[in-house]
Amino acid sequence: MQRLRALRPLALYGWLACLLLLLAAGSALSATPSRSPTTQRVPWGCGEWFLSGVNVPWQNGGYGSDFGTVEEWANYHTYSATDTNAMFTTLRQSGVNTVRWWLFTDGRGAPEFDSTSGGAVTGLDAAFLPSVESAIRLAEQHDIYLVFALWDFAMLDDENGAQGEHAGGHRDLLVEAAKRQSFISNALLPMLQHPIAGTPYTIGTHPNILAWDIINEPEWGIVESDAVNAEISQPVTLAEMQRFVAEIAATIHQNSNQLVTLGSASIKWNSDSALGATGNWWSDADLTPFAAQGTLDFYQPHYYAWMNGDEATYSYSPLFNSTTEAGFDKPAVIGEMPANATGMDRSLGAVIDGLHTNGYAGFWTWVYEDDGGGAQFGTWPDSQSAIAAFNQSHLAEVAIGECAAAADRVIYDDALASGWLDWSWDSTVNLANGAPVHGGAASAAVTFDMPWAAFSLRTATPLSGAEYSAIRLWVYGGAGGSALQLYTQPTDGGTSSPAYAFTAPAGSWSPITVPLTALGSPAAIARITLQDTSGSARPTFYIDDIALVGTQGPGDSYPPLTVNESATVDGFASNQFSWYDSQGAARTAALVKNDQRDPTNHWGGFLRQYTYRLGASTRVVNGSSTAHPGFGYTTNHYPADGSRAALSYRFQGTYSPVLRGRHHAIHEFKWRLDMGAPVDATVRWFFATGRDHPLWTVTFDSSPAGANVVTADTRAPYGDLQWDGGANSEVAGVGWGDRYKFRSLNSPVTMASGWDYSQPNTIPYVIEYTTNPDAEMGLVQSQSYLQHDAGGYWFYPKWGSTDPDGPMPEDYNWSYQLNQYELPFVTTSKRMAWGSNFGAVGQTSYPAYGDDKMLVGYPYQSYSVFVVLDRHSLNPVAGQVTEIETVQKTVLSASVGSVVASGPAGVGRPDTVTYSPAGYDHIYSSWNVRATSNNQARFTLNVTQGTLENPVVVVHNYTAASAPTTLSLNGVSTSADVGYFASLDEANDRLWLTLNGSFSGSTQVTLGDTAIATMTPSPTVTATGTPGPSPTVTATGTPGPSPTATEPGESSRLYLPLLVRPLP
């Protein structure tokens, strides 16, 4: 719809009236054309759909100001979550599946420009992304799918009623390369990459955003249309507009998995064959010369009465021109048409039926509410009954549904799968090798004849990376081991993904599972390549059972945790752990081996690289410098003046696999440190499927030195990670919790920042974060300070106080070491450490932080902390603190078997401690029970306050030969790898379990013979359509836990499982 200049919505329709007078002669509507239409639907998720919906297109009369903010009109911003919720509720009741909603319009509210009108884009205003995120969240709740229209042709209008840089005339943004790039870099990409808090998605990957409309009705601003809007004094050429469209579309395709369209003013400019049409200006052939990926995924012409024509010399009506008549080679949605069918000579219901018959893929009526033009084309009440009736009659076509889980795709199993070819180079390959084989009758024998040779497989039809979570294969290393790297390409000559390096040990089969997140989450996979990294010809090695691992859907099993024991990550020899977190998203952690020199000439024993999902992309966190090459090593200052320090990476040590289970792994480092006298340090990392954050635990044993010989503090774990993904961004805030919560008050944080230290605290923690990019790192102790005091140095007299004007406390006074020593010089330092007072290592008695009690640091000092890395917007440190607070309020009991009352006081220690709460082991933040002699147990977790997320339970005295395939939760059977994740520790007769869900109230878990489950079962958590014996969950499009079925008096609440919806 054309909109002309106005102070608020551009709602004068004089130009449209002229068109009606000039073109509406002979407006009778024809019957369906003689040629049968080509019926196409819009692909989304795992289906193809008819889109039935409305144009908002702006809310509360706020053209350009519902998402943006018009600063020149007293910060005019009209978005309302309450109104949006009400709108989506109303629309959904009538079966509407999509809403087209405008974002930037003419630029009066967003994005932000430099000081000259028509200047470069500098960013987005503070209200923009939160408002967009709110709309997305509400759309998800109501199963509404959004199509965001970026621009309106009115961006070319010289004036728009705003002032300053937003005053209009943004022609330069279309025609100047540097300014187009400023929009892409400073507005479009930050929007696409903005995470949706509490979900694994970004705006650019959220499944409830179906498409992006590049620009509304651009033809009214194109010279060649011969219909340039009278308010536009400087139109652009067709080629200039096509370049703009192609470059924006390509950027979206490269940084999103959502669709791209364009709201063409009429079929006149969107068809090569409709009667009287000018041509299809938006075809692939017209756009790809400007950007190879700059095409549309579906067409979106608009339809008003003037387009009916005389049906002899012209007609641009979709009721006259079927999709075949129009020559559409893609699905076509009518992006605008009158909600009251004005000028159509038939009812709206008949218009919709005609579009459906003619092969169109959907419609969006104009408008939901009065757009400021007097509602001459109708509003929602005019269209509700016709739309509801159509949707009810065509439910299977309009009920957009979720993907079922993608199945694994076998690529090689005795032979290459259909469609795959061997495209190796500089190699001798035998795809029918008879021995050795991992499974079946054959394997692939590969000999690298030249340096950098490769075994490469190729399919002519690229596969969608969104349908798969990992590449899995088995490798039998050749003599001396086989140093390899795996990467993918989207096309034959496409850009390679990041490489995953590993070494396959000689003479045995090793499973290799490479999460696609470690490969940069490729959008498409056409080639998979294993390449030599040794730089020389290599002897024969063998490959078998190559497959792409399907994504997980609700009720699907999680893949096992995997460990690459011979990984080379960022040049460091490492053990790399890959697991799936509480959201079903892949994470990896590479721990550098501590028995050999690393590339920084240190002895390793730290976390070098950590990855986690940002929707469809992956954040890669690396060590940052030679002096501090990673995180998780130990640092101890001695003597009491702190003039010397022992860093564990300066000492050669040993490492060992304490546990390698299906879903749980414990990795140990050991050193003998020199703190003026010998002190032994043992560090363990604990990883578990279903847990977001690994747990780091340490014991310092100063008995080799003797009592009171060493007087050292502990700043461990210690290190420096690029936890913002290498952006080198300024730290926006820091904080910690000892007995009070300290937080900085200004962003970015400097030594001049104000601070607040007034709120009491129970669970010790530290935190640093940035807001752009959205990133956070922190440490959270697995106990309260009452159970293990933490924090040190001399700032406790300020407990309970605040200083909003600053400055920050002196650098040496902070309770924990963060970035305070760098802040006077640089605000981008990411340093972080835990901390305790001098004497914590080596002294039989030392003062607690606060000097109000004495603690013991000899012969042992032990504690555990979660290492937290995630998006700041998700509040991960606060969430982990809340989890440990909930632990403190949870009661474990057992009616079959028993609760384990005590256990080791720390890793590697012979002494024991009574567990508090009962059964809770702080070392691994786990609950501990003992099975009966026949491997049975029934225990209850009673969460008296809060929600316990994916708790880990260790069953002692478990002697069965295998882990159980089912167990019972509140009388309901649930399956392994779905409702819980199990690992068998045969060496110690233990079964490790992670219960997959959110638990509050009382939950009973029964392990073993179901005959012992004599309780009356609670109401079953049930649903339809989910296979498997586990409790299933009915979802309405919202990922994560679903509400359980409950009955009066039922006290327990179980959410199962907490899984990610596959990306479309």
What is the Cβ-side half-sphere exposure of residue 109, based on CA atoms within 13 angstroms? Answer: 32
Cβ atoms within 10 A of the Cβ of 132, count? 24
**493-537 residue pLDDT tens:** 888 998 888 888 888 887 787 878 778 778 889 999 999 998 999
- Are the beta carbons of 849 and 790 closer than 8 angstroms? yes
Q: Under a CB-based contact definition with an 8 Å cutoff, are residues 921 and 958 in contact?
A: no
Query: What tokens were used for 700?
Result: 């310092």
Instruction: Count other C-beta atoms under 10 Å from residue 1047's C-beta.
Output: 7
The H-or-E segment that residue 880 falls in is: helix 876-888
- Proportion of the chain above pLDDT 90, given as a percent: 65
| pLDDT 10s digits, 982-997 | 999 999 999 999 999 8
Contact by Cβ (8 Å): 530, 455 = yes
Taking the CB of residue 665, how many other CB atoms lie within 10 A of it?
26
Please tell me the distance from the alpha carbon of residue 772 to that of residue 210, in angstroms, as a whole number: 26
- Which string of b and e fits 330-369 if b means at least 16 CB within 10 Å? bbbbbbbbbbbbebbeeebbebbbbbbebbbbbbbbbbbb
Residue 847: asked if its preceding bond is cis (omega within 30°), the reply is no
Both tokens of residue 458? 């190729």
User: Buried b vs exposed e over 960-998: b needs ≥16 C-beta within 10 Å?
Assistant: beebbebbbbbbbbbbbbbbbbbbbbeeeebbbbbbbbb
pTM of the model: 0.54
Identity (one letter) of the amino acid at 82? T
Copy the structure tokens of residue 238: 């067709």
Could you tell me the two tokens for 131?
A: 């408002």
pLDDT digits (tens, 9 = 90+) for 583-627: 888 899 999 999 999 999 999 999 999 998 876 567 889 998 888
Pairing of strands 860-870, 695-701: antiparallel
Q: Please, what's the largest Cα pairwise distance for the chain? A: 104
Please tell me the number of Cα atoms within 13 Å of 366 on its side-chain side: 23
Question: Which DSSP letter does residue 703 get?
Answer: T
Give the whole-number percent of the chain exceeding pLDDT 70.
87
Distance (Å, whole) CA 895 – CA 1045: 25
Write the pLDDT tens digit of every residue in 279-327: 999 999 999 999 988 999 999 999 999 999 999 999 999 999 999 999 9
Q: For position 116, what pLDDT does the model report?
A: 58
CB atoms within 10 A of CB 937: 25
What is the predicted pLDDT for the residue at 439?
78
Distance between terminal CA atoms of the chain? 30
Q: For 536, how many CA atoms within 13 A lie in the half-sphere containing its CB?
A: 6
| Three-class SS state of 321 | coil
For position 991, what pLDDT does the model report?
98
CA dist., res. 29 & res. 656, Å (int): 79
Alpha helices by DSSP H, listed for 288-445, are 348-357, 380-393, 395-398
Alpha-carbon torsion (279, 282, 285, 291), positive or negative: positive
DSSP letter, residue 63: T
The pair of structure tokens assigned to 795 is 């700032």
Separation of alpha carbons 58 and 64, rounded Å: 7
Residue 1033 has what pLDDT? 25
State which amino acid sits at residue 68. G
Q: pLDDT at residue 1020 above 50?
A: no
Q: Options 3.40.50.2300, 3.10.150.10, 3.20.20.80, 3.40.50.300; which CATH number does 51-394 get?
A: 3.20.20.80
Q: Tell me the average pLDDT of the chain.
A: 86
Task: Name the more confident of 38 and 715.
Answer: 715
Q: Which helix (H) or strand (E) holds 253?
A: helix 238-255
Are the CB atoms for 56 and 99 separated by under 8 Å? yes
Question: Amino acid identity, residue 303?
Answer: Y
The correct CATH number of 409-622 out of 3.90.1170.50, 3.30.300.90, 2.60.120.430, 3.40.50.620 is 2.60.120.430
The H or E element spanning position 898 is strand 898-899
Cα angle, residue 1008 at apex, residues 1007 and 1013 outer, rounded to 5°? 75
Contacts of 988 (CB under 8 A, 6+ apart): none
Round to whole Å and give the CA distance between 863 and 905: 9
In terms of Cα–Cα distance, which of 511, 499, 465, 468 is closest to 620?
A: 499
The domain limits of the chain are: 51-394, 409-622, 673-882, 889-1055
Per-residue pLDDT of 923-978, as tens digits, reads 999 999 999 999 999 999 999 988 899 999 999 999 999 999 889 888 878 888 88
Helix axes 81-93, 128-141, angle to 10 degrees: 30
Helix or strand or coil: residue 891?
Answer: strand
Secondary structure of residue 100 in the 3-state scheme: strand
Task: Using CB atoms within 10 Å of the CB of residue 1028, give its burial: 0 to 12 exposed, 13 to 18 middle, 19+ buried.
Answer: middle
CA distances to 233, 403, 458, 524 from 1060, rounded to whole Å, are 50, 11, 29, 20
Is pLDDT of 1036 > 70?
Answer: no
Say yes or no to pLDDT of 1062 above 50: no
Residue 266 has pLDDT above 80, yes or no: yes
Cis check for the bond before 859: say yes or no (omega within 30 of 0): yes
pLDDT at 403: 55
Tokens of 388: 């509801």
For residue 599, the model assigns a pLDDT of 92
Region for residue 164 given its phi and psi (left: phi exceeds 0; alpha: psi -120 to 50; beta: otherwise)? left
Instruction: List pLDDT tens digits, range 783-807.
Output: 999 999 999 988 999 999 999 999 9
**Spatial separation of the C-alpha atoms in residues 140 and 1040, rounded to whole Å:** 12
Nearest-angstrom CA–CA distance, 633 and 683 = 8
pLDDT band at 733 (very low <50, low <70, confident <90, very high): very high
Nearest of 786, 798, 800, 790 to residue 765 by alpha carbon:
790
To 5 degrees, how large is the angle CA 691–CA 693–CA 697?
A: 110
pLDDT at residue number 564: 87
Distance CA 87, CA 318 (A): 28
Torsion angle (degrees, nearest 10) of CA 244, 248, 253, 255: 150
Using one digit for the tens of pLDDT, what is the confidence trace for 537-557? 999 999 999 999 876 544 556
Q: Determine the pLDDT at residue 421.
A: 95
Name the least confident of 378-382, 640-644, 705-709.
640-644
Residue whose C-alpha is closest to residue 343's, from 101, 17, 768: 17
